[in-house]
Amino acid sequence: MAAEATLVSGARARGLDPRVAALLDRMVSPLCGFDKSMAFSLRDGLMPRIEVVIPQFAALHRLLGLERPLSYHIGGYGLRAEEAMMRALGETLERYSHMVISGFREAQMPFVPWREIAASGAFFGPADFRPFTDAQYEREGFPFRRWGDDDPITWIRGTTAANGADVLVPAQAVVVGYVPRQSGGEPWFTAAVTTGSAAHTDPRRALRSALLELIEVDTTMGHWYSGEDARRIVLDSRVQRVADLVARDVPAHGLTYTFHYLRNPDLEAHVVACVVRSPRGEIPACGVGVGADLDLEHAMYKAFLEASAIPHLAMIGLQQSWASPDSVPDDLMAFGDLDQNVAFYALPANAHVIESRFGMDDEVAAADLPPFAAAGVDRDVTHLLGTFARAGKRLAIFDFTTPDISDLGFSIARCYSPDTLSLCLPSYPHLAHPRYRAYGSPKETYPHPYP
């Protein structure tokens, strides 16, 4: 399933919307492109009619002195090839911004201990950033260290959503491409992910998407590492377009899809998980996509697209694991990237974990879900900023737009809150984070399934 791909180049793309073709020509090149190439992942008769595009990202890890590339998780999914391509190009620019922003902003990124700048704009300090338990820190092979008041770290400047004031945030928390200066005594105390970042030609739309992603990941982590329910959504007239989409584009005897509603304790948006299952328990057996939006149908559509890509991503991960057996560890405490977990749940023996977290019996009609609704980009942004403020959540906003990204007509928004849960590496959940009090007692369990 989905084991082959057809490569395309921007320079050879024809018959596309001229705007998409122009971006492909400027962004995709084996010599100097943001992406070296783009691949359409092929599907079989069991898969829905969804286009899945997987770019080959430029070798930017070399700029950071790394021997191997990071796990970038760049992909684009859509009902049409152009939709999938645009999503893939947007994600490419997100990842690119994280890899190069430190170089563009180096002069504005002080390398000092918290104690020296605590009174001059530090967003938070070591005392209220203890994501891991003592037992986790003491575990053999645990990669993170405690952050102390006198440890020098690199800070990046943003603005607070509360009043627009300048604020300094640890670069490790918000920049994926930042490599801790261990030779200078900087501890590695957390790992950033790009969730909470968004690219768009409209800066306000980028900000809206970034804010929604913060709510999405807070909700998914809160659900997975606690006892929160995930009620199955019964499709009704409120989500008729999603019901029609599934009926039309999912083969009758193919993969099965169920939608589950994830509750957030105090941040107002719809967060939906879409579970994809093999009807005969074959590889890939199971996976989960997730989406967040103020419009319920849009959240479900996003989750459906991501879930539809999971079999493709899982097969790629399993092919890598067969070539290199260590890429999917036997030790559940050793999942250190967001590829291994997807491949893990593609194996039939592990599908029971997904089934236990996304049951079929506890259900809710779509019509009975909260009445959040989209109201246009400006009102949506106002609502989302307001829900963070009403919940008492600190929120920092960053502009990661570099000159070359701006030249393409895009903006990159990055949002971060120390008061919400971030997407963790699968075997290293933030079990000591105070946010879990709102979800119930956290527990160390199987690695989360999210890519």
Kindly state whether residue 398 falls inside one of the protein's structural domains. yes
Kindly state whether residue 49 falls inside one of the protein's structural domains. yes
Residue with token string 């090149």:
29
Tens digits of residue pLDDT in 151-205: 999 999 999 999 999 999 999 999 998 989 999 999 999 999 889 999 999 999 9
Cα dihedral 266, 267, 270, 271 in deg (nearest 10)? -90
**What pLDDT is recorded for position 254?**
86
Q: Among 106, 132, 160, which residue terminates a domain? A: 106
Alpha carbons 239 and 291: distance in angstroms, whole number: 15
Q: Is the CB of residue 109 less than 8 Å from the CB of residue 156?
A: yes
Query: Which structural domain range is residue 62 located in?
Result: 18-106
Q: Is the CB of residue 305 less than 8 Å from the CB of residue 288?
A: no
Mean pLDDT estimate for the chain: 91
Kindly state whether residue 290 falls inside one of the protein's structural domains. yes
Are 73 and 85 part of one and the same domain? yes
Are 102 and 113 part of one and the same domain? no
Are 236 and 346 part of one and the same domain? yes
pLDDT for 336 beyond 50: yes
The closest of 196, 187, 126 to 158, measured between CA atoms, is 196
Q: Annotate 146-174 with b (16+ C-beta within 10 A) or e (fewer).
A: ebeeebebbbbbbebbeeeeebbbbbbbb
Q: Is the CB of residue 354 less than 8 Å from the CB of residue 445?
A: no
The pLDDT > 90 percentage for the chain reads: 73
Q: Among 106, 140, 169, which residue terminates a domain? A: 106
Those residues whose C-beta lies under 8 Å from the C-beta of residue 368, and which sit 6 or more positions away, are: none
Are 386 and 402 part of one and the same domain? yes
**What pLDDT is recorded for position 3?**
43
**What pLDDT is recorded for position 320?**
63
Q: Is the CB of residue 226 less than 8 Å from the CB of residue 440?
A: yes
Q: Is the CB of residue 193 less than 8 Å from the CB of residue 221?
A: no
Are 246 and 347 part of one and the same domain? yes
Q: What is the mean pLDDT of residues 349-355?
A: 93
**What pLDDT is recorded for position 209?**
98
Amino acid at 45: G
What does the H/E/C string look like for 111-180? Answer: EEEHHHHCCCCECCCHHHCCCCCHHHHHCCCCCCCCCCCCCEEEEEEEEECCCCCEEEEEHHHHCCCCCC
Give the other-Cβ count within 10 Å of 432's Cβ.
16
**What pLDDT is recorded for position 24?**
95
Alpha carbons 337 and 351: distance in angstroms, whole number: 19
Q: What is the mean pLDDT of residues 325-352?
A: 78
Are 34 and 64 part of one and the same domain? yes
Q: Annotate 333-369 with b (16+ C-beta within 10 A) or e (fewer).
A: bebbbbbbbbbbbbbeebbebbeebbeeeeeeebeeb
Give me the number of domains the chain comprises: 3
Kindly state whether residue 353 falls inside one of the protein's structural domains. yes
pLDDT for 351 beyond 60: yes
More confident residue, 340 or 397: 397
Helix (H, G, I), strand (E, B) or coil at 324: coil
Kindly state whether residue 396 falls inside one of the protein's structural domains. yes
pLDDT for 321 beyond 80: no
Are 113 and 196 part of one and the same domain? yes
Kindly state whether residue 32 falls inside one of the protein's structural domains. yes
Tens digits of residue pLDDT in 243-296: 999 999 999 888 999 999 999 999 999 999 999 999 888 888 999 999 999 999
pTM of this prediction?
0.93
Are 100 and 123 part of one and the same domain? no
Alpha carbons 239 and 296: distance in angstroms, whole number: 7
Are 299 and 382 part of one and the same domain? no
Are 296 and 394 part of one and the same domain? no
pLDDT for 242 beyond 80: yes
**What pLDDT is recorded for position 324?**
52
The closest of 75, 74, 57 to 66, measured between CA atoms, is 57
Encoded tokens for 194: 């790009």
Kindly state whether residue 296 falls inside one of the protein's structural domains. yes
Alpha carbons 219 and 267: distance in angstroms, whole number: 9
- Give Dmax over CA atoms of the chain in angstroms: 63
Are 131 and 242 part of one and the same domain? no
Q: Is the CB of residue 86 less than 8 Å from the CB of residue 71?
A: no
> How would DSSP label each residue in 23-69?
HHHHHB-TTT-SEEEEEEEP--TTS-S-EEEEEEE--GGGGGT-SS-
Q: Which has the minimum average pLDDT: 36-50, 167-181, 198-212, 346-360?
A: 36-50
Highest mean pLDDT out of 239-243, 307-311, 439-443: 239-243
**What pLDDT is recorded for position 327?**
53
More confident residue, 105 or 336: 105
| Plot region of 164 (φ>0 → left; ψ -120 to 50 → alpha; else → beta) | left
Kindly state whether residue 7 falls inside one of the protein's structural domains. no
Helix (H, G, I), strand (E, B) or coil at 93: helix
Query: What pLDDT band is residue 23 in, cutting at 50, 70 and 90?
Result: very high
For residue 48, give the CATH number of its domain.
3.30.160
Q: Among 89, 106, 123, which residue terminates a domain? A: 106
For residue 236, give the CATH number of its domain.
3.30.160.660
Are 353 and 421 part of one and the same domain? no
